[in-house]
Amino acid sequence: MNLTSSVSMVYDGGHYIVVDSPSATDIHSKELMLKGIISRNVSPGEIQYVVTTHGHPDHFGQGNFFPNARHFFGSYEYSDTNFISTELHTNDTMQLTKNVQLWNTPGHTAQDVTVIVHNVPCCGIVAVTEDANESAGIWFQEAWNPIIGKFSRNKVLCYADYIIPGHGKLFKISREMKTNADCYTKYENEPMKHNGTKAEQLPMFNALTETPSPAEQYLLNELKENPLAKKLQKKLSNVQMPAEVAPYVQQFAKRISKVLEPQNDALAPDVLPQLRRWRDSFAKFWKQYMNAN
């Protein structure tokens, strides 16, 4: 597999931000990165922020060329041997500069971060992502957690106008892509609302605390029954969901159905191994949900 990541430089009101860098052994891409920065009359020492979108080796390795910068990876900022937790440790978003935010967007890896750039003269809102691209196929197959990843991907698709993917050139988010991401679906209570340049997350199902990683799923496959399915079935049989929760359950069920296709007994035959138990479990969940409505 031959991989070369995108390297982006953002200028925002006197601040220079570099997003990702080539791997430590990719000499050719390192030279292209440095030439690109210098061609804009900026020296590596003038870069104030370096953001690594995730921990795959094709996206970091040349950060040492920016010794004066503040370096960010996941929910941490680090310098020399000092590491401190950032706002992303407890929040989904973090304001980096006036027009630039960092978003927690786990899925491809557990520590994915997307750089959201507002008020770009040519393009409106631009999202510099980890490995999301125009086609979700390869990204989905390689994801640490495809279900959480789909939520993160859709959140970015619905919010931004353009994407700079982890591999490839900038592209405009088409109306078809937004439609497929449920961006135009209306709910009684919207799960995400936007206020200027800030995205406010409303309370909803926290998949991060319930969804096993592929490694955990491998262990779960050794069991006769998925503990998550057992937990869901127990709750459904004993708890009457209050009316105010219904819109969130409706949204969650619809999105899960698009991922796992449990409706009408149409189980997806070609499903990723780590999703097989999810498919079967949520098929049962879907039936109970539909019968209750």
Which of 143, 167, 201 lies at the terminal end of a domain, its last residue?
Answer: 201
Residue 39: both structure tokens together: 């061609």
Q: Same structural domain for residues 68 and 140? A: yes
Q: Could you give the percent of the chain with pLDDT greater than 70?
A: 59
Burial tier of 162 (Cβ tally within 10 Å: 0-12, 13-18, 19+): middle
Q: Same structural domain for residues 211 and 233? A: yes
pTM exceeding the 0.75 threshold for the entire prediction: no
Q: Same structural domain for residues 47 and 116? A: yes
Average pLDDT, the chain: 76
Q: Same structural domain for residues 216 and 265? A: yes
Which domain, by its residues, includes 36?
8-201
In a domain, 3, yes or no: no
Distance CA(165)–CA(27), nearest Å, equals 21
Please list, in sequence order, all residues whose beta carbon lies within 8 angstroms of the beta carbon of residue 184, skipping any fewer than 6 positions away.
178
Q: Same structural domain for residues 193 and 223? A: no
Q: Is the pLDDT of residue 49 over 90?
A: yes
Q: Same structural domain for residues 175 and 232? A: no
**Dihedrals phi, psi of 184, to nearest 5 degrees:** -100, 5
Q: Are 181 and 153 in contact (CB under 8 A)?
A: yes
Q: Is the pLDDT of residue 234 over 80?
A: no
What pLDDT is recorded for position 233? 52
Q: Same structural domain for residues 224 and 93? A: no
- The secondary structure of 89-134, three-state, reads HCCCEEEEECCEEEEECCCCCCCCEEEEEEEECCCEEEEECCCCCC
Summarize pLDDT for 96-121 with one digit per residue, the tens. Answer: 999 999 999 998 888 899 999 999 99
Q: Same structural domain for residues 155 and 214? A: no
Summarize pLDDT for 201-229 with one digit per residue, the tens. Answer: 444 444 444 444 444 444 445 444 455 55
Q: Are 51 and 115 in contact (CB under 8 A)?
A: yes
Q: Is the pLDDT of residue 278 over 70?
A: no
| Single-letter residue type at 137 | G
Q: Are 45 and 77 in contact (CB under 8 A)?
A: no
Strands (E), the chain: 8-12, 15-19, 49-52, 70-73, 76-79, 82-85, 93-97, 100-104, 113-120, 124-128, 162-164, 171-172, 192-195, 198-201
What pLDDT is recorded for position 286? 67
In a domain, 151, yes or no: yes
Q: Same structural domain for residues 74 and 133? A: yes
What pLDDT is recorded for position 215? 45
